[in-house]
Structure 1
Amino acid sequence: MIEIEKEFLKKLIDDRHFLHMNPELSGEEFATTEFIKEKLKEHNIKIIETNLKNGVVAEIGQGDKVVALRADIDALPIEEESGVAYHSKVKGKMHACGHDFHTISLIGAAILLKENEDELKGKVRLIFQPEEEINSGAVKMIEENVLEGVSCIIGFHNKPDIPVGFIGIKEGPLMAGVEQFEVEIRGVGTHAAAPHNGNDPIVTASQIITGLQSIVSRHISPLETAVVSVTKIEAGKTWNIIPDRVKLEGTIRTFSEKVREETKKLFEQIIKNYSAAVNQEAEIKWISDGSPVDNNEKMAEILKKEISKFAKVIEPEIMMGGDDFARYQEKVPGLYAFIGTGCPYEWHHPSFLIDDKALPYAINYFITGAKAMLETNDKLK
């Protein structure tokens, strides 16, 4: 573990607090992008130009072998209730998932790697990715060829229910593949006192939502894992009018392609059958789809050994939350870990917090991982 000087660590913590106070939502990370560039330029770290207006790609070292490190940078539309002195200054926006912590961890690692650049056995590519929360940032980065020549990629997410000093690493699936859907059910609107003169889509939507619950409970093997959640319902404008349409939004989470295809097929059948039975129309739109975060076995083996030299390595439980880090893993071998940050509140909670004592562990995770993968001759596929 690299000992981080107190003054340098304090500066990094101050920088994280600054980012925490100035959160930017997915697609709006313009000031955050400039902040990252300024910090890298201060230490003569090479920035690679892209066509993106948000997000940063940079590089350290020389040679043919390239290892990528990725951190996400966006915030969430949540009003902060943490009570910390450095709480968000932007109403209705908050770093409630800890991406400010991820960003500063990678900046800190980049500065320390730059200081010892001559010791690197290749290049380290730094990917500060926007738009993770809307599942589009990784795709945009990949389209900018950020994985060109990359042998593997390393990332992490803070984990509030894991204590500081502990890092969760496991091979294979870690986080679920994420599907996002929109459904519009179209009926016939009418006066609320005369429902027989219309064709009420609210009743149909209610039956559909109930029917969708049978997918996991009655059609997916109990030995498999899946989640179907309707999370948003929009219908009507006032109390005495039956509307002509209902909009549903939500997500499907799975770990295997087989279960994913089966779940989506049943999802579409239920919606179309229920709506057709009452002479209504239903339109299904898949907004995004993604693979599960699936860790390379060899990378997990190597990093467990190296990370255990400065942190307590544990086997984390798989979870139904998703991360578009999986998009990179579709292209190159990757390792995604959970770094303990010790907080009683889960991600996306208004009182979510990060313990700053976890920062040295996150920085060393990046540095150790990059060096270990640059120095290994083991085949990853």
Structure 2
Amino acid sequence: MFLETDFFQQLALTRQYLHQHPELSGEEIQTTAFIKDFLQKENITVLETELKTGVIAEIGTSDGPTIGLRADIDALPITEETQLPYTSVHPGVMHACGHDFHTTSLLGAAIILKKNEARLPGKIRLVFQPAEEIFQGAKQVMDAVDLSSWSAMVGFHNAPELPLGAIGARASKQMASVDRFFVTIQGIGTHAAHPDQGSDPIVTGSQIISNLQAIISRHIPASEQAILSVTHVNAGNTWNVIPDKFQFEGTIRTFDETLRKKIIDQMKKIVTHTAESFGQIATIDWITGPGPVNNDPKLFKQLSLAIPAIAKETVALKSNLGGEDFAFYQEQVPTFFASIGTGKGIPLHHPAFLIDDEALVYSVNYYLKAVETLFDLLLV
């Protein structure tokens, strides 16, 4: 296990710089430039791609197996409340999901892997992925880089609810599928004193939202995990006018593809038929996100045996209805994804979210151990 104190102290400063300069999904221009400059100073080859943001780099001179290591780089539209000396300098933008930590972890692993490049029996592809928070970045990487020859891909997410240095993974159902919906109900606006002269979409929309809550409770087995959450509603702009439009959006999450389709089909019926019963028209815009995060069985078996050597402790993870676009990579390459405890206990996406920089020891060594283990596995 690599434990050089000065190395991790310098790496912590890198993490703090990235934290101070967050950029939103698809806008990671300066972050991309920083990563490229960092890697080039370490004589690491940055590959030319058509990615607008994000970086793909390569370490290794052998023609052996190719292993991908992935970190996401984007931030969230959240106003920071940590009061750290390195708090975000961009108002309303914050690394509240720890992607600054993920990026720094991969940069640290890259330095060590580059120093040992001559001994690598294959190639390492470093994937600094943009736009994870909007579930677009993985697909952008897959469009820009041919993954068909890659033997494995490894990623992780920080877990503030886990103790510092704890590492865990599940064979399947680690994180949920994610679908986003945006519904528009078109009615007829009128004076609030004369609702009979119009067709009130607020009443219709409210009824639809209530009806949707029965999908999970009455159509999905109690033994299954699934949610349908309406998270944003918009209608009207004053107190005495019934508007002509009602809009709402939200998300559907589950671990089973059959249930995923069932929930979506049932939602379409409820939205459409309820609107029709009020004489109105409903449209649904869908944004299909990633499927559930499921680890490749062979990689899971080997890496689960290897991780205790570098973890402070190993934990049995519960399924998490949060989503991860790392799941898209499963479609083209065997993958392994873990959770690494950062020990602060403040939840992801919270304006006071914190990372303990001591966790870099475990995240960097996680990448290094994964490379060592997978090369041993793939070269048997």
Q: Normalising by the residue count of structure 1, what TM-score does the alignment of the two structures yield? A: 0.97
Kindly state the Cα deviation for residue 172 of structure 1 after the two structures are TM-superposed. Answer: 1.4
CA RMSD of aligned residues (A): 1.1
> Is contact 1:201-1:244 (8 Å) kept?
yes
Q: Deviations over 1:109-162 (max 9, x none)?
A: 011000011121211100000000000000010011252411111000000000
Q: Matches of residues 268-287 of structure 1 in structure 2 within 5 Å?
A: 268-287=268-287
Kindly state the Cα deviation for residue 7 of structure 1 after the two structures are TM-superposed. Answer: 2.1
Is 1:354 matched up with 2:351?
A: no
Give the match for residue 56 of structure 2.
57
Give the match for residue 22 of structure 2.
23
> Is contact 2:49-2:145 (8 Å) kept?
no
> Is contact 2:289-2:325 (8 Å) kept?
no
Kindly state the Cα deviation for residue 377 of structure 1 after the two structures are TM-superposed. Answer: 3.6
Kindly state the Cα deviation for residue 307 of structure 1 after the two structures are TM-superposed. Answer: 1.3
Kindly state the Cα deviation for residue 344 of structure 1 after the two structures are TM-superposed. Answer: 2.3
Amino acid at match of 2:171: E
SS of the residue 1:172 aligns to: coil
> Is contact 1:182-1:285 (8 Å) kept?
yes
Amino acid at match of 1:75: A
> Is contact 1:47-1:57 (8 Å) kept?
yes
> Is contact 2:65-2:378 (8 Å) kept?
no
SS of the residue 2:178 aligns to: strand
SS of the residue 2:108 aligns to: helix
Give the match for residue 263 of structure 1.
263
Amino acid at match of 1:151: S
- Distance in 1 of aligned mates of 2:57 and 2:284: 40
- Distance in 2 of aligned mates of 1:378 and 1:34: 35
> Is contact 1:184-1:245 (8 Å) kept?
yes
SS of the residue 1:150 aligns to: coil
- Unpaired runs of 5+ in structure 1? none
SS of the residue 1:308 aligns to: helix
Q: Deviations over 1:295-328 (max 9, x none)?
A: 1122111112111112122111111000000000
- Distance in 2 of aligned mates of 1:16 and 1:165: 17
> Is contact 1:291-1:326 (8 Å) kept?
yes
Amino acid at match of 1:225: Q
Kindly state the Cα deviation for residue 53 of structure 1 after the two structures are TM-superposed. Answer: 1.5
Amino acid at match of 2:169: I
Q: Matches of residues 41-120 of structure 1 in structure 2 within 5 Å?
A: 41-61=40-60, 62-120=62-120
Kindly state the Cα deviation for residue 289 of structure 1 after the two structures are TM-superposed. Answer: 2.7
Give the match for residue 39 of structure 1.
38
Give the match for residue 151 of structure 2.
151
Q: Normalising by the residue count of structure 2, what TM-score does the alignment of the two structures yield? A: 0.98
Kindly state the Cα deviation for residue 378 of structure 1 after the two structures are TM-superposed. Answer: 8.1
- Distance in 1 of aligned mates of 2:45 and 2:378: 26
- Distance in 2 of aligned mates of 1:148 and 1:31: 30
Is 1:335 matched up with 2:336?
A: yes
Give the match for residue 127 of structure 1.
127
> Is contact 2:162-2:345 (8 Å) kept?
no
> Is contact 1:66-1:124 (8 Å) kept?
yes
SS of the residue 2:90 aligns to: coil
Q: Deviations over 1:62-103 (max 9, x none)?
A: 223101000000000000111221111111010000000000
> Is contact 1:121-1:371 (8 Å) kept?
no
- Distance in 2 of aligned mates of 1:101 and 1:127: 14
Q: Deviations over 1:199-240 (max 9, x none)?
A: 110111111111010000000011111110111111111111
Give the match for residue 369 of structure 2.
368
> Is contact 2:160-2:348 (8 Å) kept?
yes
Give the match for residue 310 of structure 1.
310
Give the match for residue 11 of structure 1.
10
Q: Matches of residues 178-257 of structure 1 in structure 2 within 5 Å?
A: 178-257=178-257
- Distance in 2 of aligned mates of 1:325 and 1:185: 34
SS of the residue 1:91 aligns to: coil
Bigger Cα displacement from structure 2, 125-134 vs 167-176: 167-176
Amino acid at match of 1:351: A
Give the match for residue 140 of structure 1.
140
> Is contact 1:23-1:88 (8 Å) kept?
yes
Kindly state the Cα deviation for residue 265 of structure 1 after the two structures are TM-superposed. Answer: 0.5
SS of the residue 2:188 aligns to: coil
Q: Deviations over 1:1-53 (max 9, x none)?
A: 122x2222111111110110110000100000000001100111011110112
- Distance in 2 of aligned mates of 1:212 and 1:234: 17
> Is contact 1:57-1:146 (8 Å) kept?
no
- Unpaired runs of 5+ in structure 2? none
> Is contact 2:310-2:369 (8 Å) kept?
no
> Is contact 2:181-2:287 (8 Å) kept?
yes
Give the match for residue 296 of structure 2.
296
> Is contact 2:15-2:104 (8 Å) kept?
yes
> Is contact 2:176-2:323 (8 Å) kept?
yes
- Distance in 2 of aligned mates of 1:307 and 1:375: 14
- Distance in 2 of aligned mates of 1:209 and 1:339: 37
> Is contact 2:230-2:248 (8 Å) kept?
yes
- Distance in 2 of aligned mates of 1:122 and 1:227: 42
> Is contact 2:310-2:366 (8 Å) kept?
no
Amino acid at match of 1:99: H
- Distance in 1 of aligned mates of 2:36 and 2:170: 33
